[in-house]
Structure 1
């Protein structure tokens, strides 16, 4: 009986500790997400200040971390480029900051690569597609002479590293392929260049090639070399 009582006490303690740990984990996630949102807002405000020194009629790269971490000033040395990528940004975020971060400096070309973080926010392809169309429409309405380019979403690799799923989930390559096809059709119907980078980054199994990624989601130096080779002709036209 004493043994049974002791076992019950141990079980209760275990359940309590587990519950507290779970609650703390949830609070940690909420805190991290809040920090990400704050960081995104601060970065957008920073771009507003940078715009005071920016020249008009230049080239803008617009997107999330896949753009922010793309050292375009180095890869496109000598080209008049501005990086307006913000880590963790979504299509909603881009729409919100489009006026202050991009339209204000009146670029002649805008390269858009956005959408992968929408999957993390549990948005579906229709939602992402609609927002990207709205981004293009808003650019065209405010900058009638601007040339807009849509870059395909990049593939992911859930097995590139042991911890890859922490970064890649819940993204699925099949969903990305379907969205890219939607974007390609839209671009074809509206005379907008669609730049298919996806097919050049995959391995024989259809995943983001390990040599082109840091951890299954973000792009390595070698990956950006491939992307740069594809994009450069569009900067020169």
Structure 2
């Protein structure tokens, strides 16, 4: 867990307004340039969007940092994208869909209990691209995509959709326009097959607008 980022967020939370919109998750959420986009786009929102994503975060990490990343802000709308690092766990640690769902269920249960009036949007995991050449070392690439595959991502998306419905939350898939004909993340949208460039987030925000 990135303790320095948590410390930064704790400081920032003292200045944040309550009842706003919150993005939370791992690096794929931390990298969402929503500060710039909400100022430059025509969203015309009556609320501020805060981003409390932290790179490298797993569902276990978020369970340990929910006060700082979620509850201290008392959001009225919450967009959550957590678990991609669970899916992409190293070969040594292994990936267990059951463990992912168990942890995610704990996360959503706490949100439901402590923020009963908050609108919660469980976001689908983004696709990856393990085929294009991004200049990665072959062994590093094999390790990176050992379990983080589009097949596992699709399976996990189906599972968390059902989990969201179980809690009465909305599941949203904002991936339209991100993939090629094979279902891979388009090369022009990604740094190394996983993390996204700002042009990808422009597509995602356009798909996300109606929920904001």
Q: Shift of residue 97 of structure 1?
A: 0.5
CA change 1:177–1:70 in 2 (3 A) is same
Give the structure 2 partner of residue 123 of structure 1.
95
Q: Shift of residue 167 of structure 1?
A: 7.8
Give the structure 2 partner of residue 17 of structure 1.
none
2:148 is equivalent to residue 148 of structure 1: no
2:77 is equivalent to residue 109 of structure 1: yes
Higher relative contact order (CA 8 A, sep 6+): 2
Q: Shift of residue 162 of structure 1?
A: 3.2
CA distance in 1, matches of 2:161, 2:192: 27
| TM-score computed with the length of structure 1 as normaliser | 0.78
2:202 is equivalent to residue 225 of structure 1: yes
CA change 1:182–1:200 in 2 (3 A) is farther
The residue correspondences of 1:1-237 to structure 2 (distance < 5 A) are: 37=1, 40-77=2-39, 79-121=47-89, 122-160=94-132, 161-163=134-136, 165=141, 168-170=144-146, 171-235=148-212
Query: Which structure has greater helix proportion?
Result: 1
| TM-score computed with the length of structure 2 as normaliser | 0.86
CA distance in 2, matches of 1:43, 1:156: 26
Which blocks of at least 5 consecutive residues in structure 1 are unaligned?
1-36
Q: Tell me which moved more, 167-176 or 226-235.
A: 167-176
Q: Shift of residue 222 of structure 1?
A: 1.7
CA distance in 1, matches of 2:144, 2:185: 11
Give yes or no for contact 1:167–1:215 (8 Å, CA) kept in 2.
no
Q: CA RMSD in A?
A: 1.8
Give the structure 2 partner of residue 15 of structure 1.
none
CA change 1:200–1:186 in 2 (3 A) is farther
Larger radius of gyration: 1
CA change 1:47–1:145 in 2 (3 A) is same
Aligned residues: 197
